[in-house]
A and B are shown apart, each in its own frame.
Chain A
């Protein structure tokens, strides 16, 4: 096989964890694993990828790649695929990754499996497991092609104890400013000291049972003790207690943390769609019949306003 390429998700040199997850996962298939990074001043990142399994690191530096833009990135990737002929190219299923994957696949007239929760690669073929109907069913799809293309859901693959030589390869720059058709006017990062929802190891979410900003404060207090991201059900987002980007569920974010804590959330099917694949789930709810208990590993039937303060002090012990 001619290698599995992992497209590096980074912004201003900050690499998203899913990149490492994909590098480690790709290593399982025995083929050479390469990280592919486009940007400006990104060569210094190469040793990072070696630590997580990259045998090779393709580095392409140019002003035109300073920020992700579909046109230039696709043009560059097409040229590199033609030159190096990788067996598979995987992207993270993120705002940029799915955009890149979809436009590239169409340009190459190829299939693409998106938002995969499991992947098996062999020569000229990829088997991807996708969660469909918001996780209520699974579909295994076969993508054949040169290369095999897919996007992987963040948080589903484990970062392994693997490493690679990380030999740097510098392909020719094949894109110019003429390839750019989107002008990014601004990018305003969400100001938060907390980790991002889709990247966090622990997520603490609050629902209507929080009853207002005071209840949400308790959720935040627990989250900060655990170094967690804060999330919410649609009820708490619609009530204006939390920003929309923090909604977990079918029409919000899909999260896969090690621990998900649902406080005052009933567990509507659309909410479960966004969190039921978390490794451990804890629920705090006054209603013993609440459906959230059907998916939780540890549930307590109690008032969150009384439970969370004690929980915080017990954890600190």
Chain B
């Protein structure tokens, strides 16, 4: 069985965001593999360790910088990579078209992805890819069982846990609590350098949405801070909750 994992290179979650010429400045920003995608890669490796998956292919769409995300996944244990070269200013539609095109050529049984990218956070790409490929999908998973041409997954849904079954091939997106991604070993990092990575051109697709402007969130007005005996602090906090917030007690 072939498992394909979509990995996106994102800004480090610690990164300080600034605007330059009306755009998000990326100079000097540390890039990481999207934390959700790292979990998806780990999930794929575990499927391989269980004997369910034979080969793990990682696919990233973007500029050459996305190669680092592929190398990280290869160092963790994926077998080979595909870099889909695409203008970074592609929207979710154009991204999904490009990824689906590359995925189709690989003919995988399972497509894993993160359920959301930690930077742009649109939560659209995996579901769009599934629609283009005509595959079923399950999102936000915390576990997976693969047997008899089907995948059964638990998902963190609103207000509870949902167990969903789909026929393969399918697109499945991860929640971070699925697993604890391994750190690449020194050996893994060395091996990754020799693993094959193909570079393909993105299928043409025009953006459907337009970014009108970027801005910084309005700064919050300075609040009140009290340093005093705990009892005094508590009394003042209670007054504020009652008079300013107007909390209602149960």
Residues of A within 8 A of B (CB): 11, 16, 70-71, 93-96, 98-99, 101-103, 105-107, 109-115, 127, 130-145, 181-190, 196, 198, 202, 224-227, 244-245, 250-251, 258-259, 269-270, 273, 276, 280-282, 284, 288, 293-303, 306-311, 314-317
Q: Which residue of A lies closest to B242 (CB)?
A: A315
Residues of B within 8 A of A (CB): 11, 13-17, 19, 24, 35-36, 91-93, 96, 118-124, 127-128, 130-132, 136-140, 142, 152, 155-167, 176-177, 207-217, 220, 223-231, 233-242, 244-245, 247-250
Q: Which residue of B lies closest to A227 (CB)?
A: B250
Q: Which residue of B lies closest to A252 (CB)?
A: B176
The CA of A302 and the CA of B226, in the complex, are separated in Å by: 9
Q: How many A-B contacts if CB must be within 8 Å?
A: 268
Known contacts A259-B241, A298-B223; A244 and B14 CB within 8 A of each other: no
B contact residues around A115 at 8 Å (CB): 121-123
Partner of A141, one of B166, B212, B235: B212
Known contacts A132-B121, A183-B165; A140 and B213 CB within 8 A of each other: yes
Partner of B159, one of A137, A190, A303: A190
B contact residues around A109 at 8 Å (CB): 93, 208
B contact residues around A306 at 8 Å (CB): 230-231, 234
Partner of B124, one of A70, A102, A258, A295: A102
The CA of A98 and the CA of B236, in the complex, are separated in Å by: 42
Can you report 17 residue pairs joining A to B where beta carbons are below 8 Å apart? A95-B162, A110-B93, A110-B208, A112-B209, A138-B214, A140-B214, A184-B162, A185-B164, A187-B161, A198-B158, A202-B247, A226-B249, A270-B13, A300-B233, A300-B236, A306-B234, A311-B234
User: Is B208's CB under 8 angstroms from A301's CB?
Assistant: no
Partner of B234, one of A111, A280, A307: A307
